[in-house]
Structure 1
Amino acid sequence: MDNTLHIIGGGMAGSEAAWQAAHMGAHVVIHEMRPKTGTFAHQTGHLAEMVCSNSFRSDDHEYNAVGLLHWEMRQASGLIMQMADKHRLPAGGALAVDRDPFAQSVTEALRKLPNVTVSNDEVTHLPQHGHWIIATGPLTSGGLASAVQAETGSEALAFFDAIAPIVYADSIDMSKAWMQSRYDKGETEEERTAYLNCPMDRDQYEAFIDALLNADKTEFKEGEIAGYFDGCLPIEVMAERGRDTPRFGPMKPVGLTNPHQPEVKPYAVVQLRRDNALGTLFNIVGFQTKMKYGAQTDVFRMIPGLENARFARLGGIHRNTFINSPTLLDDQMRLKSKPHIRFAGQITGVEGYVESAAMGLLAGRMAASQILGQHTPAPPPETAMGALINHITGGADAKTFQPMNVNFGLFPPVDGVKGGRKGRKDRYKAYTDRAKQLWINWLSQTNRDAA
Structure 2
Amino acid sequence: MSDELHIIGGGMAGSEAAWQAAQAGVNVVIHEMRPNVGTFAHRTGNLAEMVCSNSFRSDDNEQNAVGLLHWEMRQADGLIMQTADAHRLPAGGALAVDRDPFSEEVTARLQAHPRIRVEAGEIDTLPEDGHWIIATGPLTSQGLGTAIAAETGAEALAFFDAIAPIVYADSIDMGTVWAQSRYDKGETEAEQKAYLNCPMTRDQYEAFIDALLAADKTEFHEGETAGYFDGCLPIEVMAERGRETLRHGPMKPVGLTNAHKPEEKAYAVVQLRRDNALGTLFNIVGFQTKMKYGAQTEVFRMIPGLENASFARLGGIHRNTFLNSPTLLDDQLRLKSRPHIRFAGQITGVEGYVESAAMGLLAGRMAAAQIQGRTLPPPPPETAMGALVTHITGGAEAKTFQPMNVNFGLFPPVAGLKGGRRGRKDRYKAYTDRAKSLWADWLALAPTLPAA
Using the TM superposition, give the Cα deviation of residue 222 of structure 1 relative to its aligned residue in structure 2, in angstroms: 5.1
CA distance 1:29–1:222, change in 2 (3 Å): closer
1:229 paired with 2:229, answer yes
Aligned partner of 1:331 in structure 2 is: 331
- Counterparts of 2:224 and 2:38 in 1: how far apart (Å)? 23
Tell whether the 8 Å contact from 1:345 to 1:355 is kept in structure 2 after alignment: yes
Aligned partner of 1:207 in structure 2 is: 207
Tell whether the 8 Å contact from 2:74 to 2:81 is kept in structure 1 after alignment: yes
- Counterparts of 1:312 and 1:25 in 2: how far apart (Å)? 42
1:153 paired with 2:153, answer yes
- Counterparts of 2:100 and 2:65 in 1: how far apart (Å)? 26
- Counterparts of 1:201 and 1:14 in 2: how far apart (Å)? 46
Using the TM superposition, give the Cα deviation of residue 296 of structure 1 relative to its aligned residue in structure 2, in angstroms: 0.2
State the one-letter code of the partner of 1:81.
Answer: M
Residue-by-residue CA offset, 1:212-254 (whole Å, 9 max, x unaligned): 0000000111564241111101011110001000000000001
Runs of 4+ in 1 over 2 A off after TM superposition: 222-226, 448-451
Aligned partner of 2:109 in structure 1 is: 109
State the one-letter code of the partner of 2:220.
Answer: F
Residue-by-residue CA offset, 1:336-388 (whole Å, 9 max, x unaligned): 00000000000000000000000000000000111111111100000000000
More deviation, 224-233/161-170: 224-233
Gaps of 5+ in 2: none
Alignment of 1:87-126 (within 5 A): 87-126=87-126
Aligned partner of 1:8 in structure 2 is: 8
CA distance 1:263–1:448, change in 2 (3 Å): closer
Figure out how many residues of one structure are paired with residues of the other and give that number: 451
Aligned partner of 1:411 in structure 2 is: 411
Aligned partner of 2:316 in structure 1 is: 316
Alignment of 1:15-94 (within 5 A): 15-94=15-94
- Counterparts of 1:391 and 1:156 in 2: how far apart (Å)? 19
CA distance 1:141–1:127, change in 2 (3 Å): same
- Counterparts of 1:111 and 1:154 in 2: how far apart (Å)? 37
Residue-by-residue CA offset, 1:84-109 (whole Å, 9 max, x unaligned): 00000000000000000000000001
- Counterparts of 1:242 and 1:355 in 2: how far apart (Å)? 30
Tell whether the 8 Å contact from 2:23 to 2:449 is kept in structure 1 after alignment: no
Residue-by-residue CA offset, 1:98-145 (whole Å, 9 max, x unaligned): 000000000001001011011111000000000000000000000000
Residue-by-residue CA offset, 1:294-334 (whole Å, 9 max, x unaligned): 00000000000000000000000000000000000001000
- Counterparts of 1:39 and 1:291 in 2: how far apart (Å)? 19
Aligned partner of 1:399 in structure 2 is: 399
State the one-letter code of the partner of 1:79.
Answer: L
State the one-letter code of the partner of 2:106.
Answer: V
Residue-by-residue CA offset, 1:410-438 (whole Å, 9 max, x unaligned): 00000111111110110000000000000
- Counterparts of 2:246 and 2:224 in 1: how far apart (Å)? 26
Alignment of 1:237-276 (within 5 A): 237-276=237-276
Tell whether the 8 Å contact from 2:181 to 2:195 is kept in structure 1 after alignment: yes
Aligned partner of 2:433 in structure 1 is: 433
SS at match of 1:123: coil
- Counterparts of 1:334 and 1:449 in 2: how far apart (Å)? 24
TM-score (norm 1): 0.99
- Counterparts of 1:231 and 1:222 in 2: how far apart (Å)? 21
CA distance 1:448–1:24, change in 2 (3 Å): closer
Using the TM superposition, give the Cα deviation of residue 450 of structure 1 relative to its aligned residue in structure 2, in angstroms: 11
Alignment of 1:332-371 (within 5 A): 332-371=332-371
State the one-letter code of the partner of 1:301.
Answer: R
Tell whether the 8 Å contact from 2:125 to 2:144 is kept in structure 1 after alignment: yes
- Counterparts of 1:213 and 1:271 in 2: how far apart (Å)? 20
- Counterparts of 2:114 and 2:427 in 1: how far apart (Å)? 45
Tell whether the 8 Å contact from 2:24 to 2:449 is kept in structure 1 after alignment: no
- Counterparts of 1:221 and 1:117 in 2: how far apart (Å)? 40
- Counterparts of 1:108 and 1:313 in 2: how far apart (Å)? 25
Tell whether the 8 Å contact from 1:93 to 1:185 is kept in structure 2 after alignment: yes
State the one-letter code of the partner of 2:396.
Answer: A
- Counterparts of 1:120 and 1:127 in 2: how far apart (Å)? 17
State the one-letter code of the partner of 1:246.
Answer: L
After superposition, the CA RMSD in angstroms is: 1.2
Using the TM superposition, give the Cα deviation of residue 446 of structure 1 relative to its aligned residue in structure 2, in angstroms: 2.2
Residue-by-residue CA offset, 1:30-55 (whole Å, 9 max, x unaligned): 00100110000001111000000100
State the one-letter code of the partner of 2:354.
Answer: V
- Counterparts of 1:257 and 1:328 in 2: how far apart (Å)? 50
State the one-letter code of the partner of 2:370.
Answer: Q
Aligned partner of 2:304 in structure 1 is: 304
TM-score (norm 2): 0.99
State the one-letter code of the partner of 1:443.
Answer: L
State the one-letter code of the partner of 1:199.
Answer: P
